Structure 1
């Protein structure tokens, strides 16, 4: 069965595909289907943005669709960047500028107050209805980026119980631990029902 993952982000799409494709779905991304008008992410919550993207994709293509909205919530910044994570520095998807801005904002924050969580809401929209789930991954923000794997804030996020950053984990390790992996595993029972 074909399943559309409503994303153009190659790294995010790869991560999503590794988790969902194991269920026997033929996984497509937005670049694999005819273009359609995509609504901007204007909802105040991860859940709202994810569901809007999944609904848009299903309505435009007729394919069962999964979408996610994810970001980082930093305790010392009162939960920000949150849904603004990808455009925290003002330009959407500028990972380096986003990292530098966050590190600058946390410069004087002591290590014991640098707690954070990666958050992912994953939504499904299809012929069987809609559902949204949420996964969180707690950790802390370090002072200098480390690691070449991953994307976004991965190089400055050290998961609880680890001394390496998310960007220093292998793809397989990250899939098992990450907020996106957690959310998608919660979504899998709904996808399995679709496949029956």
Structure 2
């Protein structure tokens, strides 16, 4: 059975491949489908964005599709950037630009509450079945970057249980702990009991 990963983010694709292993399932990427339209992530919730990506790309390619959306919720900013985390500094912002804006916004606040939560919705879309699972991790936003690994906000997201930022962790450490790792492990476990219902069609 072929399943599409609805992402162009190579870091994310690698992370999903390491976690999402089902017998007789081949994970394909958008590289194998040139000229695929990229859905605009304009939903009001993480679930809306994940569902939109998965359903649109499934209809375009004819394949069951995995998608996710992730938000960083910072206490000092009232839960922002949230659903706009990937575009916090603008529609085409780089990781560094998003981090710079995040730190600048927190710095405007006297004695800010730097506690934060990474939250991820992982979703599987098939015309006959939609499954979704959530993962999250609580941590702190540091005042400057630490580490060179990972992507996104990883250099400033500190996980107290490890004494490291996500960017300082090995891939295995991060996958075992992260919001995305949790969400896709939960989705993997939900789907593995139902995958036999779909394999006859793909």
Q: Is the shorter-chain TM-score for this pair beyond 0.5, marking a shared fold?
A: yes
1:23 aligns with 2:31: no
Give the whole-Å Cα distance in 1 for the aligned partners of 2:162 and 2:6. 31
1:51 aligns with 2:65: no
| Closer, same or farther: CA 109–119 of 1 in aligned 2, 3 Å | farther
Secondary structure at the residue paired with 2:84?
Answer: helix
Which structure has the highest helix share of the two? 1
Give the whole-Å Cα distance in 2 for the aligned partners of 1:160 and 1:56. 38
Structure 2: which 5+ runs fail to align? 198-202
Structure 1 residue 122: deviation in Å?
0.8
The C-alpha deviation readout for 1:11-59, integer Å capped at 9, x for no partner, is 1111111111x32321111112243323211110001100111101211
Root-mean-square deviation over aligned CA pairs: 1.6
Give the whole-Å Cα distance in 2 for the aligned partners of 1:165 and 1:16. 20
1:110 aligns with 2:111: yes
Give the whole-Å Cα distance in 1 for the aligned partners of 2:187 and 2:93. 26
Q: Is the 8 A contact 2:131 2:191 kept in 1?
A: no
Structure 1 residue 128: deviation in Å?
3.6
Structure 1 residue 93: deviation in Å?
4.3
Give TM-score scaled by structure 1 length: 0.93
| Closer, same or farther: CA 34–195 of 1 in aligned 2, 3 Å | farther
Partner in structure 1 of residue 185 of structure 2:
185
Give TM-score scaled by structure 2 length: 0.90
Q: Which runs of 4+ in 1 moved over 4 A?
A: none
Q: Is the 8 A contact 2:74 2:116 kept in 1?
A: yes
